Amino acid sequence: MTEDYKKVVDGAREAFDNGTTLPLEFRVHQLKRLKAMYSDHSQVFMDALHSDLNKPDMEAALFEVSACINDIDYILNRITSWTTPEKVSSVIPLDKSLIYREPYGVTLVMGAWNYPMQLTMTPVHGAMAAGNTVIIKPSEVSPATASALAKLVPQYLDQTCYPVVCGGVTETTELLKERFDYIFYTGSTTVGKIVREAANKHLTPTTLELGGKSPCYVDTSVNLDKAARRILWGKMINLGQTCIAPDYVLCPREVREPLVSAMKEVLLEWFGPEPKTSPDLGRIVATRHVDRLAKYLDSGRAVVGGGYNREEKWVEPTILVDVKEDSKIMQEEIFGPILPILTVDNHTQAIDLIRAKERPLALYIFSVNKDIQDTFLRRVQCGGVCINDTIFHISNNKLPFGGVGWSGMGGYHGKFTFDTFSHLKSVLSRSYNPILEKITCMRFPPYTEKKKKVMMGSVADKGDGPGVLHYLALTTQHLVSMSAGALLLYLSLHYTDTVV
Amino acid sequence: MTVQFRTHETETPRLMKRRHGMGCLRFMSPELYLTYCTLNNQVFGFLGCTVAPPPPPLVPSPGSPIPVSVPSAVEVGGRHSFWDCWKLMTENMSEFEQVVNKAREAFRSGRTLNIEFRKKQLKALQCMYNENEDAICAALAKDLRKPRQESILLELNLLRDDLRYMLARIDDWVKPEKIKTNLVTMFDSPVIYHDPYGVVLVMGAWNYPLQLPLLPVSGAIAAGNVVIIKPSEISPATAQLLADIVPKYLDNDCYKVVCGGVAETTELLKQHFDYIFYTGSPQVGKIVREAANKHLTPTTLELGGKSPLYIDDTVNFDLAVRRIIWGKCINVGQTCIAPDYVLCTRQVQDKFVEKAKEILKEWYGDDPKASPDLCRIISDKHFQRISEYLKDGTVAVGGVVDREERYISPTILVDVSPKSKVMTDEIFGPILPIVNVDSAYDAINFITERDPPLCAYLFTTDSKVRESFVKDVLTGSMCVNDCVVQLGLHDLPFGGIGTSGMGAYHGRASYDTFTHRKSCLIRNYNKVAEQIGKMRFPPYNEKNTKLLSKMLREINFPSLKYISYVLAFGLGVASVLVVQEIIKAAGSDDD
């Protein structure tokens, strides 16, 4: 097995060293092929997702297949401008200062099982766009999707540059012994540490997308029916197995009762009296996780749900109240359809409670009070924030997505994925112009007091804004196009006049 | 008598002397809660020291009047006097733990979130550089015998320019970024907030003992972090100077200098930091990152490597060789971005050596050792290491050593085997080996076969060679037709790749390094938006799936960049029409 991985990684490295992935046309072509794969086989992927997690078609379409296609479209529309070297200002005229975005080399992308397509493939798109070769490692916990990827990707993409490898813990350990130039890992904090430690052997930079307990604060100022819908939607998609799902709710005492009854109604409306039969709820990925979740049910009083079935990998959507802060459910990331509701006196106490824990991946605030929103934004450090909704902040490709502290390091999505997989190579290019040499030769020995004084004469920095010349050029350009318009009409009128 | 209650305060004990009150101090690591009350600015009594937060009975609603005799009514863990508690805490804490805890408390107080505070600190740093110029130059001279011009040009000026650059732009940088919204969230406002990480550790290197620890610090301050600065112990005079002067200028709680050698650094790295910035060698870099991994702390590593230099025969030799020799001889080669070795053809080598001899004589005279413009090697260990390299080739220029003074003269080695030690280790001294290659193509191959360097230098006026070099050589940064000066541009991020490091800094990049970008989407309860938003809710149906997929689809709108030109064109057309009309009208009047 070791031999295999070595061969795969060496092959990818050779392809990179030969410059296969450097031409922009190659990258664009491969990304288009990948897009074709998603569209041609969308049903195959939806079936695989159904088999792994009983994922409803709407969730599979929106969060996985369409998300991947949209991501590629987003990249393809912008890749030319991203890969163009960026010009920056120089201190000495005639010097050229440029920033090139270079691929790292051989990258490893390790996906998670909860969104087995999106979390594996969106980083891959960025890595491909940046010109890296990518070893794709889907999670073994979602075997159907992993094998669908392993089967289909080689049919569409260059097999040496973008191989898919599958395997469990032992295989992954072996794989991580190879040398990579960048590792992108999505998963748990514990494994994240192991991955980064393995990466450290070769000083490989890593992006870690981990989880955490994402808190949700609800206060009296909001429409509780709408708030309940938005929270429960975020909690129940993929049956709570979403890294940015609201993990627990904090609310003032007087909000708890109306919120719970609103939630009860919403759950009944969505999933009926027998939620297990609803086609719109997923299943827990493995019995191991059902056992873990079952243990949390003792941590409080279940006002809704509370049932589970080990054989069917089913845990009922559950709302727990009277949960103690030091109970087990409040120490670990829940990653299931159990929503504990804790009461606090006010938002300051909620902030204290959140700050006493590790920094979460997401924070949700349901309040229309600007002051309270601002206090949360200022005082709580977390990956991202969504105010008055859940999950939605990741729908915008222009917002970087990533954790801080125990919820991860490094951000991605859209351009940020491309940047993650690009090294910024600064290039300064000078000439041998004799006049400029008069200034720059001041730095050479023998050092004298006069030279030092000349070098000291730098002026105060005024900031970056465009200079007068910029506006002058802009005005001239507009004047030229205006007179072009005038001239054209004048000539045409003149011409027609003479003809007439 | 009424007493105000407050709980969960995060203050240091000396701030406890409020007029009347009661409170609970929380100490991190080991986590202890100390409950106390004060009366007339005096600590009146200690209610206890517990390992868990005081139970709810202790926390009446704020402002409710209660009698001073409260201590007897409170039931918390074991009862100790204040000094018992204090001793218990401090005995369990190492010196560094206390330093880091104090810094963390300062961060939690939120002081560094204030932009004016940050600016004030940056300006204080500016003052520090201006007022201590002589002391700084003296310390650098003591550590490395650094000439004053090098101290000012490559350490102080770089720092001062960087501060000026930051102060001119910080107001723009810290503003939350407003982002364009997409179709599904068109009624909402997406914003990116810039959060500081928290407690940052900056570890400097000894070769530029002022610039390397302090340049990242300004970025960390600008981003709102609290910073613990650890100068290298190998340059003791500068380290001591920093420990002396920094507290006089910067806020003492938020910015702290700690000194120490390997043992102390190991102890320091056990603490929990939120970001670590390390400049130094790859070996230590690995150790730092491994220690950081315990707390999942992100790290920037600025390491070294063998920076290659290729020169061909199309250049102005006088200027080119001057620039190369300067880059190699500043700080006698102890510069992480100094050109490490030269690649060129045999013919170029002869010209190069000839010219180098001339220039070295012009700059440093017949006896370079007597020149005040050459530094010395930092330590005996490094002297020993570097003088070994002289055996790896034929000395074409220089080759003089003096153990007493730790002096090595600027040396050029020829006939060097690519496998010898001088070509496998980072040299970090004034020895410049020349390896012969046949062409630029060979040189590129030679470079790409090895670990990616921190910098690559190219001296040519042939644009084809330049293009293929820039395209094919994977390196931290690159400078064409000069050395080292790319460092002086704030707009160019500076950092390595692979074994030469990870992450970048300088100018805006420094600020970004120490900033976590917190994405935030602010939604509302707008009725129209809800019509779109509620399509996502269960029960799911085919129609909603299709509609939402359509709305989320990426559309490439035509760029509106040239719209103003089209309008100007139209305006021109319109103006002619108007003029014509006027002329016509005037004409008809005449009639």
Mean pLDDT lowest for which of A199-213, A247-261, B91-105? B91-105
Query: Cβ contact (<8 Å) for A464 and B169?
Result: yes
Average pLDDT over residues B122-131: 95
With respect to residue A470, please indicate whether it lies within any of the assigned structural domains.
yes
pLDDT value of position B55: 43
- 3-class SS at A335? coil
**pTM value?**
0.87
A105 Ramachandran zone, left/alpha/beta (phi>0; psi -120 to 50): left
CB contact under 8 A, B296 and A189: yes
**Domain span at residue A304?**
215-395
Confidence of residue A38 (pLDDT cuts 50, 70, 90): very high
Say whether B493 sits in a helix, a strand or coil. coil
Minimal CA separation from A460 to chain B, in Å: 6
Which residue in chain A has the smallest CA separation from B557? Answer: A77
Q: Residue A150's domain is classified under what CATH number?
A: 3.40.605.10
Burial of A239 (0-12, 13-18, 19+ CB in 10 A): buried
A412 or B153: which carries more pLDDT confidence?
Answer: A412
User: Rounded to an integer, what distance in angstroms lies between the CA atom of residue B566 and that of residue B559?
Assistant: 13
Residue B4 has pLDDT above 60, yes or no: no
Contact A432 B316 (CB under 8 A): yes
| Record: contact B319-A437, CB cut-off 8 A | yes
pLDDT of residue B82: 47
Shared domain for A29 and A158, answered yes or no, is: yes
Between positions 107 and 166 of A, the ones with CB within 8 A of B are none
pLDDT band at B180 (very low <50, low <70, confident <90, very high): confident
Query: Do the Cβ atoms of B491 and A461 come closer than 8 Å?
Result: no
Closest chain B residue by Cα to residue A205: B502
**Cβ-defined contact of B293 to A464 (cutoff 8 Å):** no
Report the 10 Å Cβ neighbour count for A433: 15
Q: Which residues of A touch B296 (CB under 8 A)?
A: 189, 192-193, 196, 208, 210, 405-406, 409
Q: Is the pLDDT of residue B396 over 90?
A: yes
Give A385-403 pLDDT, tens digit per residue.
999 999 989 888 889 999 9
Instruction: Indicate whether A273 and A331 sit together in one domain.
Output: yes
The answer to the question of residue A321 being in a domain is yes
- For A70-74, A416-420, A437-441, B332-336, which range has the lowest pLDDT when averaged over its residues? A437-441
Contacts of residue B18, Cβ cutoff 8 Å, sequence gap at least 6 = B38, B41
Min Cα distance B280 → chain A (Å) is 14
- Tell me: cis bond preceding B539? Omega within 30 of 0 counts: yes
Q: Looking at CA atoms only, how far is residue B539 from chain A in angstroms?
A: 5
Say how many Å lie between the first and final Cα of chain A, rounded: 88
Same domain, A45 and A99: yes
- CA of B213 vs chain A CAs: smallest distance (Å): 22
Cα dihedral B179, B185, B187, B190 sign: negative
Indicate yes or no: CB of B545 within 8 angstroms of CB of A61: yes
Q: Which residues of A touch B488 (CB under 8 A)?
A: 91
Q: Could you tell me if residue A255 is inside a domain?
A: yes
Which residues, in sequence order, are bridge partners of residue B177? B192
pLDDT digits (tens, 9 = 90+) for A116-125: 999 999 999 9
What span, in angstroms and rounded, lies between the C-alpha atoms of B188 and B533?
11
Residue A458: predicted pLDDT: 54
- Would you state the pLDDT for residue B97? 83
In contact, B176 and B194? CB cutoff 8 Å: yes
The answer to whether B345 and B436 are in contact (CB under 8 A) is: yes
| pLDDT digit string, tens, across residues B288-346 | 999 999 999 999 999 988 999 999 999 999 999 999 999 999 999 999 999 999 999 99
Q: Are A160 and A178 in contact (CB under 8 A)?
A: no
CA distance A338 to A248: 9
Q: What percent of chain A has pLDDT over 90?
A: 78
Looking at the domain assignment, is residue A406 inside a domain? no
Give the range among A247-261, B33-47, B366-380 with minimum mean pLDDT: B33-47
Contact assessment for residue B31 and residue B51, using Cβ atoms and an 8 Å cutoff: yes
Same domain? For A203 and A223 the reply is no
Q: pLDDT grade, residue B553 (50/70/90)?
A: confident
CB contact under 8 A, A378 and B373: no
Residues A291, A390 within the same domain: yes
- CA distances (Å), origin B339, targets B283, B328, B479: 21, 6, 11
CA B298 to chain A, closest CA, distance in angstroms equals: 6
CB contact under 8 A, B572 and A428: no
First to last CA, chain B: 102
Q: Are residues A295 and A180 part of one domain?
A: no
Candidate from A99, A404, A482 with C-beta closest to B492: A99
Pairing of strands B407-408, A133-137: unpaired
Query: For the stretch B233-252, what's the b/e string if a residue is b when 16 or more beta carbons lie within 10 angstroms of its beta carbon?
Result: ebbbbbbebbeebbeebbbe
* Domain match, A322 and A252 both: yes
The residue-averaged pLDDT of B544-567 equals: 79
Q: What is the pLDDT of residue B587?
A: 78
- More confident site: B68 or B219: B219
B483 — pLDDT class (breaks 50, 70, 90): very high
A51 and A131 share one domain: yes
Whether A106 and A220 map to the same domain: the answer is: no
B134-169 pLDDT, tens digit per residue, is: 999 999 999 999 999 999 989 999 999 999 999 999
- Is A448 among the domain residues? yes
Cβ-Cβ contacts under 8 Å, A97 against chain B: 486, 489, 491-492
Taking a contact as any Cβ pair under 8 Å apart, which residues of chain A between 156 and 215 contact chain B?
181, 189, 192-193, 196-197, 200-201, 203, 205, 208, 210
Of B274, B285, B477, the CB nearest to A425: B477
Does residue A286 fall inside a structural domain?
yes
Quick check: is A404 in a domain?
Answer: no
CA geometry: angle A190, A194, A199, nearest 5 deg: 145
Domain harbouring A304, CATH code: 3.40.309.10
Question: Catalytic residues of A, which ones?
Answer: 209, 243
b/e per residue A66-77 (b: at least 16 CB within 10 A): bbbbbbbbbbbe
Q: Quick check: A323 pLDDT over 70?
A: yes
Residue A288 belongs to some domain of the structure: yes
**Cβ(B105)–Cβ(B10) below 8 Å:** yes
Domain check: are A373 and A319 in the same one? yes
Query: CA B270, CA A83: separation in Å to the nearest integer?
Result: 41
For chain A, the domain total comes to 3
Least confident of A250-254, A392-396, B434-438: A392-396
Q: Looking at A425, A446, A466, which one is the last position of a domain?
A: A425
Of B206 and B19, the one with more pLDDT = B206
Inspect the interface and report whether the beta carbons of B521 and A385 lie closer than 8 Å.
Answer: yes
If one compares A351 and B67, the residue with the highest pLDDT of the two is: A351
Average pLDDT of chain B is 84
Residue B436 CB neighbours (<10 A):
16
What is the arithmetic mean of pLDDT over B504-533?
A: 90
The answer on pLDDT for B78 being more than 50 is no
pLDDT the model gives residue B35: 62
Q: Do residues A404 and A83 make contact, with C-beta atoms less than 8 angstroms apart?
A: no
- Across chain A, mean pLDDT equals 91
The alpha carbon of A198 is separated from its chain's Cα centroid by a whole number of angstroms, namely 23
Q: Tell me which chain B residues have a C-beta less than 8 angstroms from the C-beta of A410.
A: 298
Distance CA A470, CA B256 (A): 44
Find the mean pLDDT for residues A453-467. 64
Q: Given A203, A424, A481, which is nearest B285 (Cβ)?
A: A203
Residues of B in contact with A399 (CB under 8 A): 179, 190, 192, 519-521
Q: Predicted confidence band at B68 (pLDDT cuts at 50, 70, 90)?
A: very low
The shortest C-alpha distance from A445 to chain B (Å) reads 5
Confidence class for position A326, pLDDT limits 50, 70, 90: confident
Residue found under tokens 């709305």 = B551
Selected for mutation to probe chain A from B519, B528, B554 (highest A CB count within 10 Å) is B519
Q: Which helix (H) or strand (E) holds B25?
A: strand B21-27
| Same-domain pairing of A223 and A192 | no
Is residue A256 located within the same domain as residue A337? yes
Q: State the pLDDT at residue B575.
A: 85
- In B443-589, DSSP assigns E strands to 455-459, 477-480, 501-502, 515-522
Q: With 0-12 CB in 10 A as exposed, 13-18 as middle and 19+ as buried, what is A335?
A: buried
Q: CA angle, A68 as apex, A62 and A69 as ends, to 5°?
A: 95
- Confidence grade of residue B7 (pLDDT, cut at 50, 70, 90): very low
Q: How many CB pairs under 8 A join A and B?
A: 340
The confidence band for B220, taking pLDDT boundaries of 50, 70 and 90, is: very high
Residue B219 CA, chain-centre distance (Å), reads: 6
The per-type count for chain A, helices as H runs and strands as E runs, is: 18, 17
